[in-house]
Amino acid sequence: SESGPTTIVVLGASGDLAFKKTYPALFGLFANSFLPQTVKIVGYARSAIALPDFRARVSSKIKTTDQAALDKFLQLCTYVSGKYDDAPSFQNLNAFLEDVEGTKDPKGKTRVFYMALPPSVFIPASTGLKHWCYLGEGGKNRLVVEKPFGKDLASSQELGTALAANWKEEEIYRIDHYLGKEMVKSLMVLRFANVLFGAIWNRNHINNVQITFKEKFGTDGRGGYFDEFGIIRDIMQNHLLQVLTILAMDRPVTLSAEDVRNEKVKVLRAIKPLTLDETILGQYTASADKKEPGYLDDPTVPHGSTTPTYAAAVFKIHNERWEGVPFILKCGKALEESKVEIRVQFNDVAGNLYPSTVRNELVIRLQPKEAVYMKLMNKEPGLSTDLHVTELDLSYEKRYKDAKIPDAYESLILDCLKGDHSNFVRDDELELAWKIFTPLLHKIEGEKIQPELYQYGSRGPAAAQEFIERHGFQRDSSY
């Protein structure tokens, strides 16, 4: 806990991300007494909004039955309007902060600047904050940033250089909200606190790994943003790649943020840049019943756009542990269901005694309905000698009935308040992630590669199925 006042400044406080994610997460932490006693939350954005109106908007996105807690929380929230590229605005913000904190002396204070901002104002805002709102000697400053961190290696480096001119790496918290998800946080525990996985977690026992992200809705009014980035940048380059690195990394020397991230970086360095022939691209069309629009029917999407809304790619990790094991990452919008899961498929049993066995599979379902289960063979009970594919099942719903799974943002904001970087993306991780994807993205965009069409609500492009089987995945007929 901090000695002096802690102020969380939410920049872009009138935007979608702030209302949908940041404020509800702050409320969740507050309601469970995880915010420091002295905390104040200051919203900052361009529009002039009267405080009661601002509080009404914040509360409209918070689902709770605890009205008393909500009222108290809203009292902590204030709002200042100002520009993102203008010294007087930031001077005004600083004066406001000093007022809220009750002293001009930086000693013992903490300021968390949460940038829920569009990329276009990213550099001026972070520069303005540094010049006018940064706590001097004795104070702590933290800058929380959200993707997109650029569009490719060069633009990301440009952004990184601009940030590094004003902020030290240890002051920067790059959010990938997948790192705050319960099941992602549990991955290292599963791997490193269980002797049984440690021994078989390598190319001798694992045949292939699949990491799948499916969403059953389309761009839903975000077409303008989405079209500039596409599914590879929106999901695969960050969320799925992070999951891959945690699955594939070696045991870190300690659990310190630097030790953990050093191991993740080693995995990323062992992956060669992706190529188009190891990638499947798709774009959704209207649903079969025509009730759901196709991607190109979204009025915010440019005519004839070739931006992929589905992608599958195979990653090869060239090291002693993983050489030859395909890691297949798949993600798509407007599919038949919303689900995110990891499937680790083990090798066939050598010299198998039984007919009709299927491979063991460890499935970790991130959402919905968090679960870890191991698919294995068992004898059909009774006098039958038949085999039966069944599961050792750790479904959270059954095993942890009353547990409340926190939102990823709650977990990450708490880490940031504690100064723990373990679940944030380090600069070199980000750079390596872009190195893996940039040649592919440039090729897709430079040559306007036509994605394969798939229907809204389907399982994605037909070629994807053949693709994963070609890379070794064996589908069990009961699946």
The residues binding ligand BG6 (CB under 6 A) are: 177, 215, 234, 340
For the CB of residue 468, give the shortest distance to ligand BG6 in the complex, in Å: 21
Nearer to ligand BG6 by C-beta: 341 or 391? 341
Closest CA to 391 of 363, 366, 418: 363
Query: Per DSSP, what are the bridge partners of residue 53?
Result: none
Residue length, the chain?
Answer: 479
- For ligand BG6, which residue has the nearest CB? 234
Q: Give CA–CA dist 200/204, Å, rounded.
A: 7
For the CB of residue 232, give the shortest distance to ligand BG6 in the complex, in Å: 12
**C-beta separation of 326 from 209 below 8 A:** yes
Closest CA to 171 of 215, 211, 141, 194: 141
What does each C-alpha distance from 27 to 307, 323, 356, 439 come to in angstroms? 36, 45, 52, 42
Nearer to ligand BG6 by C-beta: 358 or 408? 408
Q: Is 471 a catalytic residue?
A: no
Closest CA to 62 of 88, 41, 47, 46: 41
Tokens at 259, concatenated:
């030790």
Nearer to ligand BG6 by C-beta: 237 or 345? 237
For the CB of residue 83, give the shortest distance to ligand BG6 in the complex, in Å: 26
For the CB of residue 323, give the shortest distance to ligand BG6 in the complex, in Å: 31
DSSP letter string, 288-337: TTS-SPPGGGSTTSPTT----SEEEEEEEB-STTTTT-EEEEEEESSBSS
Tokens at 409, concatenated:
């943002």
State the catalytic residue, choosing from 177, 239, 421, 471: 239
Say which residue the tokens 């926190």 belong to. 406
Nearer to ligand BG6 by C-beta: 215 or 415? 215
For the CB of residue 231, give the shortest distance to ligand BG6 in the complex, in Å: 8
For the CB of residue 209, give the shortest distance to ligand BG6 in the complex, in Å: 19
Nearer to ligand BG6 by C-beta: 250 or 341? 341
Nearer to ligand BG6 by C-beta: 286 or 340? 340
What does each C-alpha distance from 265 to 165, 237, 387, 430 come to in angstroms? 23, 14, 43, 9
Which residues are part of the catalytic machinery?
239
